[in-house]
Protein backbone atom coordinates (compact mmCIF):
# COMPACT_ATOMS: atom_id res chain seq x y z
CA UNK A 1 0.00 0.00 0.00
CA UNK A 2 1.21 3.53 -0.84
CA UNK A 3 2.95 5.28 2.07
CA UNK A 4 0.75 8.38 1.55
CA UNK A 5 -2.45 6.45 2.34
CA UNK A 6 -3.76 7.01 5.86
CA UNK A 7 -6.92 5.92 7.65
CA UNK A 8 -9.71 8.48 8.02
CA UNK A 9 -11.90 8.52 11.14
CA UNK A 10 -15.31 7.12 10.12
CA UNK A 11 -17.07 10.14 11.62
CA UNK A 12 -15.34 12.29 8.98
CA UNK A 13 -15.63 9.79 6.10
CA UNK A 14 -18.55 11.63 4.48
CA UNK A 15 -16.22 14.56 3.79
CA UNK A 16 -14.35 12.44 1.26
CA UNK A 17 -17.30 12.69 -1.18
CA UNK A 18 -19.26 15.66 0.19
CA UNK A 19 -17.86 17.93 -2.54
CA UNK A 20 -19.62 15.94 -5.29
CA UNK A 21 -16.77 14.27 -7.19
CA UNK A 22 -17.07 11.66 -9.91
CA UNK A 23 -16.22 8.37 -8.22
CA UNK A 24 -14.94 4.95 -9.18
CA UNK A 25 -16.97 2.01 -7.87
CA UNK A 26 -15.16 -1.31 -7.52
CA UNK A 27 -16.40 -4.70 -6.44
CA UNK A 28 -15.36 -8.36 -6.33
CA UNK A 29 -17.29 -11.60 -6.32
CA UNK A 30 -16.21 -15.17 -6.97
CA UNK A 31 -12.77 -14.13 -8.26
CA UNK A 32 -14.09 -11.45 -10.62
CA UNK A 33 -13.06 -7.79 -10.11
CA UNK A 34 -14.50 -4.76 -11.84
CA UNK A 35 -14.39 -0.99 -11.64
CA UNK A 36 -16.80 1.54 -13.12
CA UNK A 37 -17.14 5.31 -13.01
CA UNK A 38 -20.22 6.90 -11.44
CA UNK A 39 -21.25 10.54 -11.38
CA UNK A 40 -24.13 10.13 -8.93
CA UNK A 41 -22.75 9.37 -5.47
CA UNK A 42 -23.66 11.20 -2.30
CA UNK A 43 -23.01 11.18 1.45
CA UNK A 44 -26.14 10.10 3.32
CA UNK A 45 -25.49 9.88 7.07
CA UNK A 46 -22.88 10.39 9.80
CA UNK A 47 -23.34 7.68 12.42
CA UNK A 48 -22.92 5.12 11.18
CA UNK A 49 -21.62 6.80 8.03
CA UNK A 50 -23.53 5.92 4.88
CA UNK A 51 -23.55 6.91 1.22
CA UNK A 52 -25.65 6.36 -1.88
CA UNK A 53 -24.61 5.58 -5.44
CA UNK A 54 -26.58 4.97 -8.63
CA UNK A 55 -25.59 1.76 -10.46
CA UNK A 56 -27.39 1.05 -13.73
CA UNK A 57 -28.93 -2.38 -14.29
CA UNK A 58 -26.61 -3.00 -17.25
CA UNK A 59 -23.43 -2.50 -15.18
CA UNK A 60 -21.38 -5.60 -14.39
CA UNK A 61 -20.16 -3.88 -11.22
CA UNK A 62 -23.76 -3.73 -9.99
CA UNK A 63 -24.03 -7.50 -10.34
CA UNK A 64 -20.85 -7.97 -8.30
CA UNK A 65 -22.15 -5.58 -5.60
CA UNK A 66 -25.47 -7.39 -5.39
CA UNK A 67 -23.80 -10.80 -5.12
CA UNK A 68 -21.01 -9.86 -2.68
CA UNK A 69 -22.80 -7.24 -0.58
CA UNK A 70 -19.60 -5.14 -0.62
CA UNK A 71 -18.08 -2.37 -2.73
CA UNK A 72 -15.52 0.43 -2.66
CA UNK A 73 -16.08 4.06 -3.62
CA UNK A 74 -12.91 5.94 -4.54
CA UNK A 75 -12.20 9.51 -5.63
CA UNK A 76 -10.10 9.61 -8.81
CA UNK A 77 -7.76 12.50 -9.55
CA UNK A 78 -7.08 14.79 -12.50
CA UNK A 79 -4.09 12.55 -13.26
CA UNK A 80 -6.61 9.70 -13.73
CA UNK A 81 -8.87 11.51 -16.21
CA UNK A 82 -8.31 9.05 -19.06
CA UNK A 83 -8.55 6.02 -16.73
CA UNK A 84 -11.83 7.32 -15.28
CA UNK A 85 -13.32 7.88 -18.73
CA UNK A 86 -12.20 4.43 -19.93
CA UNK A 87 -13.67 2.69 -16.88
CA UNK A 88 -16.93 4.59 -17.36
CA UNK A 89 -17.38 3.91 -21.08
CA UNK A 90 -16.36 0.25 -21.39
CA UNK A 91 -18.13 -2.79 -19.92
CA UNK A 92 -16.60 -5.91 -18.44
CA UNK A 93 -19.63 -7.80 -19.81
CA UNK A 94 -18.42 -7.28 -23.39
CA UNK A 95 -14.70 -6.64 -22.74
CA UNK A 96 -13.22 -9.21 -20.34
CA UNK A 97 -9.84 -7.42 -20.41
CA UNK A 98 -11.38 -4.01 -19.62
CA UNK A 99 -9.30 -3.34 -16.49
CA UNK A 100 -6.01 -4.30 -18.14
CA UNK A 101 -6.75 -2.25 -21.27
CA UNK A 102 -7.71 0.78 -19.18
CA UNK A 103 -4.50 0.46 -17.14
CA UNK A 104 -6.32 0.09 -13.80
CA UNK A 105 -3.91 -0.85 -11.04
CA UNK A 106 -5.63 -2.56 -8.11
CA UNK A 107 -4.44 -3.17 -4.56
CA UNK A 108 -5.90 -4.59 -1.37
CA UNK A 109 -6.30 -3.34 2.17
CA UNK A 110 -6.19 -5.81 5.07
CA UNK A 111 -9.57 -7.06 6.29
CA UNK A 112 -11.39 -5.75 3.18
CA UNK A 113 -11.65 -8.36 0.45
CA UNK A 114 -12.34 -5.86 -2.31
CA UNK A 115 -10.28 -4.29 -5.11
CA UNK A 116 -9.05 -0.75 -4.43
CA UNK A 117 -7.89 1.46 -7.33
CA UNK A 118 -4.34 2.79 -6.91
CA UNK A 119 -3.64 6.48 -7.47
CA UNK A 120 -6.95 7.83 -6.16
CA UNK A 121 -7.17 10.45 -3.41
CA UNK A 122 -9.75 8.68 -1.22
CA UNK A 123 -11.22 5.21 -0.67
CA UNK A 124 -14.44 4.21 1.14
CA UNK A 125 -15.04 0.50 1.80
CA UNK A 126 -18.78 -0.13 2.02
CA UNK A 127 -21.16 -2.84 3.15
CA UNK A 128 -24.37 -2.91 1.12
CA UNK A 129 -27.55 -2.07 2.99
CA UNK A 130 -30.06 -4.02 0.91
CA UNK A 131 -33.05 -1.97 -0.22
CA UNK A 132 -34.52 -4.10 -3.04
CA UNK A 133 -37.24 -1.60 -3.98
CA UNK A 134 -34.81 1.32 -4.34
CA UNK A 135 -32.27 -0.84 -6.19
CA UNK A 136 -34.81 -2.21 -8.66
CA UNK A 137 -36.90 0.93 -9.18
CA UNK A 138 -34.29 3.69 -8.95
CA UNK A 139 -30.93 1.87 -9.37
CA UNK A 140 -30.08 3.46 -6.00
CA UNK A 141 -27.71 1.59 -3.68
CA UNK A 142 -27.00 2.43 -0.05
CA UNK A 143 -23.71 1.52 1.57
CA UNK A 144 -22.55 1.71 5.17
CA UNK A 145 -18.97 2.96 5.21
CA UNK A 146 -16.89 0.45 7.16
CA UNK A 147 -13.43 1.78 6.32
CA UNK A 148 -12.05 5.05 4.94
CA UNK A 149 -8.62 6.19 3.76
CA UNK A 150 -7.15 9.21 2.03
CA UNK A 151 -3.98 10.36 0.32
CA UNK A 152 -2.52 12.55 3.07
CA UNK A 153 -0.98 14.89 0.51
CA UNK A 154 -4.47 16.15 -0.35
CA UNK A 155 -6.79 15.21 2.57
CA UNK A 156 -5.65 15.45 6.17
CA UNK A 157 -7.01 16.43 9.56
CA UNK A 158 -10.52 15.87 8.22
CA UNK A 159 -10.23 18.42 5.38
CA UNK A 160 -9.36 18.56 1.69
CA UNK A 161 -6.21 20.55 0.89
CA UNK A 162 -6.65 20.91 -2.90
CA UNK A 163 -5.32 24.47 -2.97
CA UNK A 164 -2.08 23.46 -1.21
CA UNK A 165 -1.01 20.51 -3.35
CA UNK A 166 -0.25 19.36 -6.86
CA UNK A 167 -3.22 20.21 -9.18
CA UNK A 168 -2.95 16.65 -10.59
CA UNK A 169 -4.41 15.45 -7.25
CA UNK A 170 -7.62 17.50 -7.61
CA UNK A 171 -10.91 15.63 -7.94
CA UNK A 172 -12.86 15.22 -11.18
CA UNK A 173 -16.47 16.32 -11.73
CA UNK A 174 -18.26 14.82 -14.73
CA UNK A 175 -20.66 16.89 -16.82
CA UNK A 176 -21.50 14.95 -20.02
CA UNK A 177 -20.04 13.72 -23.30
CA UNK A 178 -16.54 13.09 -21.95
CA UNK A 179 -16.37 16.58 -20.40
CA UNK A 180 -15.10 16.95 -16.82
CA UNK A 181 -14.14 19.81 -14.53
CA UNK A 182 -11.45 19.71 -11.86
CA UNK A 183 -12.38 21.11 -8.47
CA UNK A 184 -11.67 24.83 -8.30
CA UNK A 185 -10.29 27.30 -5.82
CA UNK A 186 -11.03 27.26 -2.12
CA UNK A 187 -13.32 29.95 -0.72
CA UNK A 188 -13.79 30.62 2.98
CA UNK A 189 -16.60 32.52 4.67
CA UNK A 190 -13.91 34.57 6.43
CA UNK A 191 -12.79 35.74 2.96
CA UNK A 192 -16.33 36.58 1.83
CA UNK A 193 -15.70 40.35 1.85
CA UNK A 194 -13.36 39.76 -1.09
CA UNK A 195 -15.90 37.82 -3.15
CA UNK A 196 -18.00 39.86 -5.60
CA UNK A 197 -21.13 38.21 -6.96
CA UNK A 198 -22.88 39.71 -9.98
What sign for the dihedral angle of Cα 48, 65, 92, 40? negative
* Domain ranges across the chain: 5-194
Give the integer Cα–Cα distance in Å for 160 and 186: 10
Is residue 152 within 8 A of residue 142, CB to CB? The reply is no
Query: In sequence order, what are the residues at sequence separation of 6 or more whose Cβ sits closer than 8 angstroms to the Cβ of residue 93?
Result: 58, 60
What integer best gives the mean pLDDT of the chain? 93
d(CA 58, CA 47): 32
- What pLDDT was estimated at residue 61? 97
Write down the pLDDT at residue 195: 52
CA-closest candidate to residue 122, choices 150, 153, 143, 158? 150
Distance, CA of 133 to CA of 135 (rounded, Å): 5
For residue 66, the surrounding DSSP H or E stretch is helix 60-68
Could you report the per-residue pLDDT of 13-67, keeping only the tens digit for each? 999 999 999 999 999 999 999 999 999 999 999 999 999 999 999 999 999 999 9
**What is the reported pLDDT for 24?**
98
- CATH no. for 5-194: 2.30.110.10
Per-residue pLDDT of the chain (198 residues; tens, 9 = 90+): 678 899 999 999 999 999 999 999 999 999 999 999 999 999 999 999 999 999 999 999 999 999 999 999 999 999 999 999 999 999 998 999 999 999 999 999 999 999 999 999 999 999 999 999 999 999 999 999 999 999 999 999 999 999 999 999 999 999 999 999 999 888 777 755 555 444
Amino acid sequence: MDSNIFSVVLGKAYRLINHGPTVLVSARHDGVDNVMAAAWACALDYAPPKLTVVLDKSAKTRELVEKSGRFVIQVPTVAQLKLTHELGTHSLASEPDKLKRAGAELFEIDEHDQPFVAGCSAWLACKLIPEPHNQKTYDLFIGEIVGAWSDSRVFKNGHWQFEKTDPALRSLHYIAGGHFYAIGESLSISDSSQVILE
